[in-house]
Structure 1
Amino acid sequence: MITPNHPLKDGDLLLSSRKTFALGFFSPENSHNRYVGVWYNKVPEQTVVWVANRDDPINDTSGVLAINAAVVSSANNPVAELLDVGNLVLIRNSSQGSVVIWQGFDYPTDTMLPFMKLGLERRSGLNRFLTSWKSADDPGTGNCSYRIDTSGYPQLFLYKGQARWWRAGSWTGQRWSGVPEMTPNFIYNVTYVNNQDEISVKYGILNDSIFSKMTLKESGLVERSTWHDQPRRWNMYWSAPRESCDEYGKCGVNGNCDPGNRDEFECTCLPGFEPKSPRDWLLRDASGGCVRKRAARTCKDREGFVKVGLVKVPDTSKARVNMSLSLSLKACEQECLGDCSCTAYTSADETQGGIGCLTWHGDMLDTRTYPHAGQDLYVRVDSSTLRSYYKAEYANAKKSSITKSGKVAILVVSVIVCFLLAVLVYWNAKRKRKVKERHGTYSFSKSLNTSAYFEDSPGSKELDDESRRNSDLRLFSLKTIAAATGNFSDANKLGEGGFGSVYKGVLHNGKEIAVKRLSKYSRQGNNEFKNEVMLIAKLQHRNLLRMLGCCVQEEEKMLIYEYLPNKSLDFFIFDETKRTLLDWRKRFDIICGVARGMLYLHQDSRLRIIHRDLKASNVLLDEALNPKIADFGMARIFGANQMEANTNRVVGTYGYMSPEYAMEGLFSVKSDVYSFGVLILEIITGYKNSGTYKLDPVPIWLDICDHVGNSATHLHSPKKPAFVMKKSYTSRDPTTSEGANSINDVTCTVVEAR
């Protein structure tokens, strides 16, 4: 630490407690000026995240960082420390405790670190924001800034000089309106505060071992990146602005920018508006924006709103907000409809199904469309525009002008039309149901209940018919899954196994899924598919992979699971580089997690289940590297008193199968325990059980022949085999089982060579 008697000289370093960050003097590349800064100590590539004297450099190496006399006289025993989050703090120590009287996080430069705040403290007037360097060689205050604008409804802006360059938008309760990629993940979370004391945003890191930062480049680009030890570089996974529609006000007032309009002009007018200068729009210049259509009047009867979906809502600098939790979207519509100056509305907060009311009064600027995520904006239009959008017919005559006979005629015609519509709807629904039944959509429950694989399982009787029919799994349509996986594109393919291919998908609500698609050439078939559906539907445990649903339509059979970003255990332990990410503590936790999952299957669940294919590739890891057992296609159910079963169909993976199962088809809970033991050895050693890493000293034939002719030749003694098993040829039923022969829970163990 730095004290009044111990300053920091050029060449010295002040390290944080865990040596994550370092404070010292540095010179940028191609510069001889010296600056005081903070950088990552554990990153080989010097990455400066904070500069103290960015606009006041030192010309030589005579610099000293010290606590001045004014601070010493006003504070008792002041000290400066560097915290493990990269924050340089000045602390006053007293008998009542320690108080921070100054901190570097209140004066950020070009980098936002985890737990650093951006925003305004209303009482003190302190405004924290990022400013870029002048250049890569000069950390002085640059031309770009990234700050929260508190006018109207607060927003996050990127400025170039005084001009707005890019708008992240307002806070929706989950993310910034203009950052649809900002979804919850395993790296960081976001905290947004807007109250009488402050308006601020803060990022919190969820894993201390991950280095993550957001940097404002001198070019005007905002980048979020994480450090990767291999290949030892910063990996950027988000940046803005990155396309033409990100430019602030690209399509002018009342315009909307849609980058999906590749064949046409990307700018369009919002509903009810038309280009102010059609000639300029033909020349691809939309800076003039849009105006209300001629003769359109929006404060009359029969007007309404048109929804524009998946957008970044317009600039909220002049918008009005009502954050009442009881204000629904429908109530917000009525509030806007009752104010003739209101031009559009949306929910202020996307959480809880949409609460609060955000309204615009006047022109709307900087609206753009996103392909997958965004807010719904409801734009006020006149009755003529509403008709063209919804193709609705409006009566032009007044009720008083309709004659009595006309009313009777309208009533009769209405009844007849309603009756015909009801018949048509019934006939259409019946026809669709028959078509779906032919393609197998509605035969799903029936196919599960008639599973030969389940009927042959001794414990299947414990699954009553009612519980089978009332499966908690959701049935997905083929159209939904095809859209989520990009029509099963190779870019979304995660891998391939005995069941078929596995794809990553994203549902319309943004939820990530893993889709297991049964291949027509698969070594597994319908029985394994039905088996896995029924088992997973009845099993709920934190260490078992959760199934979200399935799809049985036409010739397709698919299983839909939760998506785990870290793939399977073998992806880590058998890779010389990635296995270093699993320290001994984490490997122990993984072993314990798998053990808890197996204990649940064997003992704690309502059904005793033998997995029969436990291996490293069937143990998946979530974002926190917690294990989840997967692939129950080969599993079998045991009865309450059943101890052992026999089958002629030996399935599984050699190397993980117990000898009695591989050779005689005998399996029990001990079979899974054997597989678990092999898995533990693989986790500890990092070696595959089927690999050859060190040959045993077994004599070769050349040595044996030489030994016959020359008795002086020494031969290595062969080692004892790992196990000895004799094949029994006694005729047995292809599928048999053994129950407990005693009501006692005492077992007798006999040592026998294997």
Structure 2
Amino acid sequence: MQQECFNSHKNMFSFFLIISSFYLDLVTALDTLKSSQIIKDPETLSSNDGAFKLGFFSPQDSSNRYVGIWYLNLSNVVWVANRNQPLRDSTGIFTISKDHNLAVMNGKEHVLWSSNVSNLTRNSTAQLLNSGNLVLQDVNTGEVLWESFQHPCNTFMPKMRLSTNKITGEKVKLTSWKSPSDPSIGDFSLSVERPNTPEMLVWNQAQPYWRSGPWNGSVFLGMEGMLSGYLHGFHLENEKDEIFYLTFSHESPFYGLLVLNPEGTFEEMTWQNKMKIFNWKNLQSGCDIYGFCGAFGSCNSQISETCSCLIGFEPKNVEEWNRQNWTSGCVRRTPLQCERPRNGSEAEKEDGFLKMEMTKVPDFSEQQSITEDQCRSGCLQNCSCTAYAFDAIISCMYWTGNLIDIVKFSKGGLTLYIRVANSELAEEKDSRNMTVIITVPVIVGTVIIAASAYVLRTRIAKHFGEKQRESQRETLNGSQKSVKLEDLPLLDFEQVAAATNNFHSANFLGKGGFGPVYKGVLEDGQEVAVKRLSNVSRQGLEEFMNEVMVISKLQHRNLVRLLGCCVKAEEKMLIYEFMPNKSLDKFLFDRKLQKLLDWKKRFNIIEGIIRDFGMAKIFEGGDDDAKTRRVVGTYGYMAPEYAMKGQFSDKSDVYSFGVLLLEITSGRRNSSFDNNEHYLGVTGFAWKLWNEENLLSLIDPEVSYPVCDHDQILRCIHIGLLCVQELARERPNMTTVLAMLNSEIVNLPPPKEVAFVQRHKSLNSGSSQENQGGGSANNVTLTEIQGR
């Protein structure tokens, strides 16, 4: 009996050993394909860390099946095996074929794609690495026989090499998909070119389409927004002086991909902890297209005339140029000294250089390791030299022949020195002097005319409108003696009525909490928006005066400008400049429009607001810490001490700024959080994520920003939380906030509990008592006022 039990346990133990071995083999083989194995549709192979998968997929709007590798999900396909030979059904398999190559076969075992390594006589195995690289290896030695990184499709991945062999011309390059639904080879390719000053080029078939500008060991000089350390490590290496290759890497927790899209756009996508945080594209304007302005033309997307000839040059075809067809480019007006015939007369003056700063330098540069002075003199001594530039790392770059693909930047780039005849230098100097001669009288004349017009308008306005304005001032004087009435811009009611066609419905723009808003046109043609306060708006004369006084002083580019106001009997109206492009909140909280606000624009807005912020409340008696007779403002932006007790200080405005800061970084309106979500609005949501150490989830997924700005965004969120703390004394003042934003204060303290959290907990705990008849000691009435 005991022997039978022993044998039974022994058999059971052997069974578990077999099962364990099976599962162990299964686990270790998740990223590996052996010669005896196949992957059937829809089975997958997974990298060890689970970030990459290999399997069958269909692109959007297509029923064709392909074997591919994707990162995280099928929206990020990074490599396709049978891109030119699709499967027509789901009977395909991926395997190691009899000749030891990787192969994609259809249901009839016809090979549609193969790794195609010749003369393989050894057993092989395939593995999907954590880098996303699929490698075919020798079973015995581990030697890599083939790898997908050497045969890329449309995606440049960390640790991948884009290379060019200077001797054979062989290249490892990207090729675009034909369309989003067709991964076959498209019209566009990307490769590393120009061995002497290497750069990336996108090609449209055989024609250059975009170029990065030369690599200086740190950045590509033709990519305006590129900063040192971009993408955590672009590297360009030269192997045995034969092969030069480009690679890049990311430091954890970042990961990035560079994708060549079907339309020729080179797009960067970056993730942090597997959450997408950034998108960048190389084609931002027409100036990014190669040679947009032709030879000797300069492209500037910031001005209305995008293309212009370099100084000393003129359009080659004037008619085409006037039709904004700039491809024929420009030609030199005056021949260079060495190009002119000698007639035995006095020697002509030497050629010189005109300077263009912040420039994407032309294509086809030649390089010499010499000083900048030697670079200049060497260009002058070479009649074929048309321009030069100097970079501290690359050294001397010079050009012979046509100058093509020059772009004027607003920042970055290099200073380009363009060679011209000496007479052109003199004309340029005379032109600058003439500009001064013309500009000064024009400015003086304009000032005189403007001053005369102002005096005339003032006299007319004084004559026709003094009685009505005096009536308005008497009305306002009765409300608050401390207001400086001479600062108030006052308009006649008749003017406003005429401007809006008597508030006709055709001019109606919308309605807010205070009343309807109408579009109008003043007598001078100025378009305006008229806010006509309704009788039920609950805004009294004092609050109205406050808004007039505050906004009239906030003349800032990021704020809607107040042009005037009007008070007549029960009528109270504010006249603003008309904003045809909508205000910040329309862009920030609209899922389609918010994509236009990248992080750079958002941070500029934040900086602009903070320098005007802090004047939007009424005080009594000039006290710095006052108690208002009535709570006014936009609900959701009010500090707790102001909302609950009517007490206001400079720290109350800090609170409002903090809410705004969190809205800008998150792209979500404070009032967009309903009871089923995060009851404390964007402030409570940010506080919750802070405690969970998950602030990344707060960042607006639509905002695009370089990886180098990532810390700045998190810093803004941190500052926002400091501004919305419960206790006013814990909040920084606006001067400190500005120093924090500019990193003058490096180390930020951790925020304490944000406002309303404890109050909400108390309300929740007491709600059941109130339902049972318990009373409330809170006699404060909150007046909810809608946003302007």
TM-score, normalised to structure 2's length? 0.52
Instruction: Check whether the contact 1:566–1:622 (CA below 8 A) recurs between aligned residues.
Output: no
Q: Aligned equivalents of 2:558 and 2:367: distance in 1?
A: 43
Question: CA offsets, 1:53-73, max 9 Å, x none?
Answer: 111223333322222344489
SS for the counterpart of 2:191 is strand
Name 1:489's counterpart in structure 2. 558
Instruction: Look up the equivalent residue of 2:350 and give its one-letter code.
Output: R
Q: Aligned equivalents of 1:7 and 1:699: distance in 2?
A: 63
Name 1:622's counterpart in structure 2. 711
Question: CA offsets, 1:64-118, max 9 Å, x none?
Answer: 22223444895766321212232112233547xx443321111111122233222
2:423 aligned with 1:384: yes
Return the match for 2:77 from 45, 48, 61. 48
User: Where do residues 535-554 of structure 1 align in structure 2 (5 Å cutoff)?
Assistant: none
Instruction: Check whether the contact 2:70–2:77 (CA below 8 A) recurs between aligned residues.
Output: yes
2:281 aligned with 1:239: yes
Name 1:335's counterpart in structure 2. 378
Instruction: Check whether the contact 2:221–2:412 (CA below 8 A) recurs between aligned residues.
Output: no
SS for the counterpart of 2:407 is strand
2:157 aligned with 1:107: no
Q: Aligned equivalents of 1:200 and 1:90: distance in 2?
A: 22
Fraction of identical pairs, as percent: 28
Instruction: Check whether the contact 1:566–1:623 (CA below 8 A) recurs between aligned residues.
Output: no
2:353 aligned with 1:305: yes
Instruction: Look up the equivalent residue of 1:268 and give its one-letter code.
Output: S
Return the match for 2:236 from 192, 214, 236. 192
Q: CA deviation at 1:580?
A: 8.6
Q: CA deviation at 1:127?
A: 1.5
Q: Aligned equivalents of 1:269 and 1:388: distance in 2?
A: 15
Name 1:521's counterpart in structure 2. 615
Q: Aligned equivalents of 1:109 and 1:260: distance in 2?
A: 35
Name 2:207's counterpart in structure 1. 163
Instruction: Check whether the contact 1:75–1:92 (CA below 8 A) recurs between aligned residues.
Output: no
Q: Aligned equivalents of 1:652 and 1:15: distance in 2?
A: 46
Distance 1:7 1:565, change over 3 A: farther
Name 2:439's counterpart in structure 1. none
Q: CA deviation at 1:342?
A: 1.2
Return the match for 2:178 from 134, 145, 148. 134
Instruction: Check whether the contact 2:186–2:262 (CA below 8 A) recurs between aligned residues.
Output: yes
2:294 aligned with 1:255: no
Q: Aligned equivalents of 1:187 and 1:169: distance in 2?
A: 17
Q: Aligned equivalents of 1:154 and 1:177: distance in 2?
A: 11
Name 1:82's counterpart in structure 2. 128
User: Where do residues 445-464 of structure 1 align in structure 2 (5 Å cutoff)?
Assistant: none
Distance 1:701 1:391, change over 3 A: closer
Return the match for 1:695 from 754, 757, 764. 764
Instruction: Check whether the contact 1:621–1:627 (CA below 8 A) recurs between aligned residues.
Output: no
Distance 1:14 1:320, change over 3 A: same
Instruction: Look up the equivalent residue of 1:258 and give its one-letter code.
Output: N
User: Where do residues 629-668 of structure 1 align in structure 2 (5 Å cutoff)?
Assistant: 654=727
User: Where do residues 496-535 of structure 1 align in structure 2 (5 Å cutoff)?
Assistant: 517=611, 521=615
Instruction: Check whether the contact 1:190–1:202 (CA below 8 A) recurs between aligned residues.
Output: yes
User: Where do residues 668-707 of structure 1 align in structure 2 (5 Å cutoff)?
Assistant: 679=752, 688-689=757-758, 691-692=760-761, 695-696=764-765
Q: CA deviation at 1:372?
A: 3.2
Q: Aligned equivalents of 1:336 and 1:492: distance in 2?
A: 51
Return the match for 1:293 from 319, 325, 333. 333
Instruction: Check whether the contact 2:267–2:280 (CA below 8 A) recurs between aligned residues.
Output: yes
Q: CA deviation at 1:36?
A: 1.0
Return the match for 2:87 from 28, 46, 58. 58
2:316 aligned with 1:276: yes
Distance 1:584 1:344, change over 3 A: same
Distance 1:10 1:297, change over 3 A: same
Number of equivalences: 490
Q: Aligned equivalents of 2:431 and 2:269: distance in 1?
A: 50
Name 2:26's counterpart in structure 1. none
Question: CA offsets, 1:126-169, max 9 Å, x none?
Answer: 52211111222221111211222236643322222212222332
Distance 1:575 1:281, change over 3 A: same
Q: Aligned equivalents of 2:230 and 2:757: distance in 1?
A: 29
Q: CA deviation at 1:254?
A: 1.6
Q: Aligned equivalents of 2:212 and 2:407: distance in 1?
A: 12
Q: Aligned equivalents of 1:21 and 1:123: distance in 2?
A: 35
Name 1:91's counterpart in structure 2. 137
TM-score, normalised to structure 1's length? 0.54
Q: CA deviation at 1:238?
A: 2.5
Instruction: Check whether the contact 2:100–2:123 (CA below 8 A) recurs between aligned residues.
Output: no
SS for the counterpart of 1:253 is coil
Instruction: Look up the equivalent residue of 2:727 and give its one-letter code.
Output: Y
Q: Aligned equivalents of 2:178 and 2:361: distance in 1?
A: 32
SS for the counterpart of 2:185 is strand
Instruction: Check whether the contact 2:163–2:191 (CA below 8 A) recurs between aligned residues.
Output: yes
Distance 1:381 1:655, change over 3 A: closer
SS for the counterpart of 2:320 is helix
Q: CA deviation at 1:359?
A: 0.4
Gaps of 5+ in 2: 1-31, 102-118, 340-347, 433-554, 560-582, 589-596, 625-660, 671-677, 696-708, 732-747, 776-788
Question: CA offsets, 1:576-633, max 9 Å, x none?
Answer: 876797696779xxxxxxxxxxxxxxxxxxxxxxxxxxxxxxxx993595899879x9
Instruction: Check whether the contact 1:133–1:218 (CA below 8 A) recurs between aligned residues.
Output: yes
Name 1:267's counterpart in structure 2. 307
Q: Aligned equivalents of 2:606 and 2:372: distance in 1?
A: 29
Tell me whether 381-390 or 574-583 shows the greater mean CA deviation: 574-583
Q: CA deviation at 1:229?
A: 11
Name 1:202's counterpart in structure 2. 247
Q: CA deviation at 1:346?
A: 0.6
SS for the counterpart of 1:315 is coil
Q: Aligned equivalents of 2:214 and 2:190: distance in 1?
A: 14
SS for the counterpart of 2:363 is coil
* Higher fraction of helix: 2
Q: Aligned equivalents of 2:184 and 2:167: distance in 1?
A: 29
SS for the counterpart of 1:250 is coil
CA-atom RMSD in angstroms = 5.3
Q: CA deviation at 1:16?
A: 1.1
Distance 1:565 1:153, change over 3 A: farther
Q: CA deviation at 1:2?
A: 0.4
Q: CA deviation at 1:183?
A: 2.6
Q: CA deviation at 1:694?
A: 6.3
Instruction: Check whether the contact 2:161–2:246 (CA below 8 A) recurs between aligned residues.
Output: yes
Q: Aligned equivalents of 1:705 and 1:385: distance in 2?
A: 90
SS for the counterpart of 1:114 is coil
Q: CA deviation at 1:512?
A: 12
User: Where do residues 321-470 of structure 1 align in structure 2 (5 Å cutoff)?
Assistant: 321-322=367-368, 324=369, 327-347=370-390, 349=391, 356-391=395-430
Q: Aligned equivalents of 1:25 and 1:696: distance in 2?
A: 54
Name 1:3's counterpart in structure 2. 34
Instruction: Look up the equivalent residue of 1:368 and give its one-letter code.
Output: V
SS for the counterpart of 2:765 is coil
2:43 aligned with 1:12: yes
Question: CA offsets, 1:625-646, max 9 Å, x none?
Answer: 5899879x99xxxxxxxxxxxx
Tell me whether 125-134 or 188-197 shows the greater mean CA deviation: 188-197
Distance 1:77 1:691, change over 3 A: farther
SS for the counterpart of 1:331 is helix
Instruction: Check whether the contact 1:110–1:132 (CA below 8 A) recurs between aligned residues.
Output: yes
